[in-house]
């Protein structure tokens, strides 16, 4: 018989050994033992633990927190957010895009654009320090990506070292990783399309695997630059080329929308001859100084737009119409159609949007319909081919009770438009309607919310049916023993799941608020509310003594959001979920350190400003760490008055002792 100490010694030695290989494998991508040996070592450790329950070690593979599973890469916070682009589909959208820019700049100038193919791949960020590739990162959720430097280094188009004096001390180069069409042909059996192939390959835990697939990289923009000497996007693209990067040979500069449209038309056909997939063109304001002034909205730059190629169409027959219930109770009709190939993708579901849409288009089961699919947007039914309508196809009757919980449904009345909403909703608030509950849990775990990537949507459904998860808090009380006995769950996947669940416990307040899935509270609103409440306790006590109403003074929060929050807090189950989650999670709030001149100062405008749009004025204040409020109160620091101000506001400010500034005085304050 072994003594306790001896067993412990053997155990600790094995733990040390496996951690050494773990590091070699995941961090350095240079394992020195075969996979099978690694797995055996793991099994030996787990067996020992089972046999001798007194054994435990934080670094053991059974303890997912201490043991980094293969799927997870180290996280990396982007210095400059990686946002997506807003879309345009036609001339009107483009004219609108330009109009918004000119309004924002409040100038009548001719804008020059850099037009570039929109490559349908995976974006990546490459940070060069003194010309040396130091960090290679995926986009992630836009704020935090995964450190995949070793995988990116296997791509031949990515220089490891840029020997050019012109490269800034620190520069983050961004571009698209993709597989070209020819190379994809060879991988067809493994992946459904080139984009998925690129994405899968890039996230291989072993960069040797990545290097086997011929990924390519085209560079097109920058993130952080320590010293920006470039004047135009087109100059920057040229510079990229001289540094040894691949840029698109189709990039071109134009100075009016009509020429952009012509270029787009040319490309609609040309795209099929390119050796990689593109799903549109990107137009960027060429002047980088103007780009800087224009800045970003919460999810896209104001200075760029993606002009998508027109959609693909096909005809198919409606087999059935399903009513899906969404997270906010919306009843969405979905046509189940005979599977049809639309532009390379097999489609068997097409959305019918809402009740009114079915009525308006008189869509019936049995009908042959025209279906449209554009990029990654859900396919939708465009119109009915009436020539194929048969007499026995009866009108579709939209249910008036929820198909999931049988509660009453309703269409809300919109006071502004004086119309009923087109969407019908289940009136059952929250977790008592099965479908709403499942959708809310799916939302809770999603990337921009709590972010549990080991727990996908399909798994949520499975665990729901097995009664493992009925409320968000159940996620933190899962029986891993039981899960490991389910079909398809191995040691590694259970350990991954445990790891990502443990990992999700530390969460920022804004993400937590967003994860609750409160209607009308998107990411941007959640951030605003987190900045206002600062602690979970304050957030939870919003419902008390009319505190929600205080939110109305904050720019970005309106009556709709307030009503929705009130409704959320009225529901007892919501409160219970909140209580439970606040016991389990470690919710933190970190104020982004404000350094600007207008730190902690609030502003409000009245009247027309000279030479600057309201939008640019607002963004100038926010860039300097000030905030904008929407009503005059004691809490307001400055009222800035332009031409023809509202007298009531000025008088109120005077009564309350709020400082009043002219536009000139405000400019002086800024400079
Ligand atoms: S510029 C702030 N240029 O399209 C975003 N993006 O839908 C600046 N993309 O996430 C991006 N080709 O992955 C830019 N020539 C191009 C692009 C391009 C493809 C991708 C990129 C981005 C996505 C937005």
CB 523 near ligand 1, within 6 Å: no
Burial class (CB in 10 A: 0-12, 13-18, 19+), 137: buried
Residue nearest to atom 18 of ligand 1 (CA): 118
Measured distance CA(324)–CA(435) in Å, rounded: 8
Contact 78, 289 (CB under 8 A): no
Residue nearest to atom 13 of ligand 1 (CA): 123
DSSP string, 279-340: EEEEEEESBHHHHHHH-B-SSSBTTEEEEEPPPEEEEEEEEEEEEEE-TT-BEEEEEEEEEE
Strands, sheet with 638-641, edge to edge from the N-terminal-most edge strand? 627-628, 602-606, 638-641, 659-662
Residue 374 has pLDDT above 90, yes or no: no
CB 83 near ligand 1, within 6 Å: yes
User: Hey, which of 246, 306, 307, 375 would you mutate to test ligand 1's pocket, going by the most ligand atoms within 8 Å of its Cβ?
Assistant: 306
Residue 193 has pLDDT above 50, yes or no: yes
Contact 102, 109 (CB under 8 A): yes
Q: Which CATH class is domain 4-64+311-388?
A: mainly beta
Residue 29 has pLDDT above 50, yes or no: no
DSSP lists the bridge partners of residue 123 as: 176
Ramachandran bin of 348, using left for φ above 0, alpha for ψ from -120 to 50, beta for the remaining angles: alpha
User: Hey, which of 119, 236, 246 would you mutate to test ligand 1's pocket, going by the most ligand atoms within 8 Å of its Cβ?
Assistant: 119
User: Hey, which of 220, 234, 296 would you mutate to test ligand 1's pocket, going by the most ligand atoms within 8 Å of its Cβ?
Assistant: 220
Which residue spans within 482-539 are E strands per DSSP? Answer: 506-508
For residue range 580-618, list pLDDT tens digits in order: 999 999 999 877 677 888 998 999 999 999 989 988 999
Using DSSP, state whether 62 is helix, strand or coil: coil
Contact 669, 640 (CB under 8 A): no
- C-alpha 261 – ligand 1 centre gap (Å): 19
Chain position carrying tokens 């959609």:
311
Instruction: Name the token pair of 155.
Output: 């791509």
Flag the least confident range among 188-202, 280-294, 607-621: 188-202
Chain position carrying tokens 């709403």:
436
Fold matches, 429-504 and 507-588: yes
Measured distance CA(155)–CA(213) in Å, rounded: 9
Q: Among residues 42, 118, 435, 649, which one is catalytic?
A: 118
CATH architecture under which domain 429-504 falls:
Orthogonal Bundle (1.10)
Fold of 602-670: Rossmann fold (3.40.50)
Atom of ligand 1 nearest to the CA of 300: 2
Contact 280, 89 (CB under 8 A): no
- Give the pLDDT band of residue 26 (cuts 50, 70, 90): low
Contact 78, 143 (CB under 8 A): yes
Instruction: Name the token pair of 510.
Output: 């804004």
For residue range 525-570, list pLDDT tens digits in order: 999 999 889 999 999 999 876 788 888 878 788 889 999 999 999 9
**Has 229 been annotated as catalytic?**
no
Where are the chain's structural domains? 4-64+311-388, 75-308, 429-504, 507-588, 602-670
At residue 66, the pLDDT reads 36
Exposure string over 622-653, b if 16+ CB within 10 A, otherwise e: bebbbbbbeebeeebbbbbbbeebeeebbebb
CB 251 near ligand 1, within 6 Å: no
CATH number of 507-588: 1.10.150.20
Atom of ligand 1 nearest to the CA of 87: 7
CATH number of 75-308: 3.30.470.30
Average pLDDT of the segment spanning 232-241: 97
Residue nearest to atom 16 of ligand 1 (CA): 118
């Amino acid at each position: 018989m072994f003594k306790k100490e001896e067993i412990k010694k053997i155990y600790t030695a094995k733990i040390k050994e496996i951690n050494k290989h773990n590091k070699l494998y995941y961090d350095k991508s240079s394992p020195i033992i075969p996979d099978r040996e690694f797995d055996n070592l793991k099994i030996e450790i787990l067996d020992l633990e089972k046999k001798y329950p007194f054994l435990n070690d934080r670094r053991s593979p059974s303890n997912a927190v201490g043991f980094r599973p293969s799927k997870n890469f180290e996280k990396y916070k982007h210095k400059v957010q990686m946002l997506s682009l807003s879309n345009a589909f036609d001339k009107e959208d483009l004219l609108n895009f330009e109009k918004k820019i000119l309004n924002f700049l409040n100038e009548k100038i001719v804008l020059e654009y850099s037009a570039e193919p929109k490559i349908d791949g995976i974006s990546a960020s490459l940070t060069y320090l003194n010309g040396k590739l130091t960090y290679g990162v995926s986009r992630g959720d836009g704020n935090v990506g995964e450190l995949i430097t070793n995988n990116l280094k296997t791509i031949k188009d990515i220089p490891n070292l840029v020997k050019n004096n012109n490269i800034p001390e620190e520069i983050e180069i961004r571009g698209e990783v993709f597989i070209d069409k020819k190379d994809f042909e060879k991988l067809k059996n493994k992946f459904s399309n080139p984009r998925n192939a690129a994405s899968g390959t890039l996230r291989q835990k072993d960069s040797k695997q990545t290097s086997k697939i011929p990924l390519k990289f085209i560079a097109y923009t920058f993130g952080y630059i320590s010293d920006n000497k470039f004047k135009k996007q087109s100059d920057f693209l040229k510079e990229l080329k001289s540094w040894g990067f691949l840029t698109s040979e189709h990039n071109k500069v134009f100075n009016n929308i009509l020429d952009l449209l012509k270029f787009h038309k040319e490309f609609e056909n040309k795209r099929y001859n390119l050796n990689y997939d593109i799903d549109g063109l990107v137009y960027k304001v060429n002047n980088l100084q103007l780009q800087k002034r224009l800045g970003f909205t919460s999810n896209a730059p104001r200075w760029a737009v993606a002009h998508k190629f027109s959609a693909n169409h096909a005809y198919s027959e409606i087999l059935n119409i399903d009513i899906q219930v969404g997270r906010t109770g919306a009843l969405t009709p979905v046509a189940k159609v005979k599977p049809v190939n639309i532009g390379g993708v097999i489609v068997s579901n097409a959305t019918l949007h809402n009740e009114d849409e079915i009525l308006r288009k008189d869509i019936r089961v049995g009908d042959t319909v025209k279906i449209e699919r554009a990029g990654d947007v859900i396919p939708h039914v465009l119109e009915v081919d009436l020539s194929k309508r048969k007499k026995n196809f009866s009108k579709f009757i939209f249910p008036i009770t929820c198909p999931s919980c049988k509660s009453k449904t309703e269409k809300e009345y919109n006071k502004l438009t004086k119309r009923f909403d087109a969407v019908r909703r289940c009136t059952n608030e929250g977790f008592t309607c099965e479908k709403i509950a499942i959708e809310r849990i799916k939302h809770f775990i999603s990337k921009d919310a709590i972010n549990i990537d080991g727990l996908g949507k399909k798994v949520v459904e499975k665990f729901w049916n097995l009664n493992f998860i009925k409320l968000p808090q159940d996620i933190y009380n899962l029986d891993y023993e039981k899960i490991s006995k389910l079909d398809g769950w191995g040691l590694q996947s259970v350990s991954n799941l445990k790891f990502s669940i443990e990992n999700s416990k530390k969460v920022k307040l804004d993400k937590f608020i967003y994860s609750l899935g409160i209607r009308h509270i998107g990411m941007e609103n959640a951030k605003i509310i987190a900045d206002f409440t600062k602690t979970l306790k304050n957030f939870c006590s919003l419902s008390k003594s009319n505190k929600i109403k205080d939110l109305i003074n904050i720019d970005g929060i309106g009556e709709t959001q307030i009503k929705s929050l009130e409704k959320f807090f009225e529901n007892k189950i919501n409160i219970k979920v909140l209580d439970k989650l606040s016991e389990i999670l470690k919710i933190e709030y970190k104020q982004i350190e404000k350094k600007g001149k207008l730190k902690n100062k609030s502003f409000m405008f009245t009247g027309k400003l000279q030479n600057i749009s309201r939008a640019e004025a607002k963004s100038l204040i926010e860039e300097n760490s000030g905030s904008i409020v929407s009503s005059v109160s004691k809490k307001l620091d400055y009222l800035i008055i332009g031409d023809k101000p509202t007298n009531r506001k000025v008088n109120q400010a005077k009564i309350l002792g709020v400082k009043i500034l002219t536009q000139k005085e405000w400019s002086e304050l800024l400079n």
